[in-house]
Structure 1
Amino acid sequence: MITGLAISNLSNLFQSPKTNSSSFVGKPPQVVINKLKRLKNALKTWNWEVFGDLNSNITGKSVELQSIQLQMSNLGFSNEIFLDESRVHHELDVLLRRHECFYLDRSRVKWLQDGDRIPHSFMPLSDVGST
């Protein structure tokens, strides 16, 4: 879940002179391409600052959850440990959902870039009704 601070930082990113600069010269399509390139780099930086390395965050939360569960098994049940476990479990669940969405979006982008590599396999199906 993106926090309000992260969203305000993102809106500041779009208004910053780095990404909203009118210093580009050339034909309008080239100006748009240059602005998009600059925006892409700024978005990558923002993404890293807000979300960090997703894999290491997941690993860290998993280790933290295991240590809390080990502590609970050694010391017995306590309300404080249970609340810590619940909090860390929820944070890990959020990270895992982000990870899943990341790979879903990544596969969607790859499919859009590569397209359907085997269109000939669908041709016989479309020709059946035309004769």
Structure 2
Amino acid sequence: MKIVVVDDSRVMRQIVIRTMRQAGYGGHDIVEAENGKEGLDVVQAQNPDLVLSDWNMPEMTGIDMLCALRAAGNQVKFGFVTSEGSEEMRTRATQSGAAFLIAKPFTPEAFEEALTSVGVPA
């Protein structure tokens, strides 16, 4: 499977990837993007199976990227990995088409639960 990890922090992208590996998801093709605009371009060009995105980023936020994908008819599986975990944000994420929201700080178990819920094989 191809997974796109979108976060404006290179360090956080690496932490997300490392945590995915710790959760048993290390065998997937992982592509990185550093903001929502770049993430949108990567998703449209590479047609991944899953997008893991931060919420707050420069140029285009994660929620704006998700809305743009859905408006274009793209139904890629999409989840947020963010420090924003309020009920309001979770509701907005779900209503916009996100499958899950993993709040920071996160654990390998949180990734395993979320990725299993959308059918990503370990």
TM-score range, shorter chain: under 0.3
Question: Would you tell me which structure has more strand in proportion to its own residues?
Answer: 2
Relative contact order higher in (CA < 8 Å, ≥ 6 apart): 2
Q: Compare CA radii of gyration and give the structure with the larger one.
A: 1
Question: Would you tell me which structure has more helix in proportion to its own residues?
Answer: 1
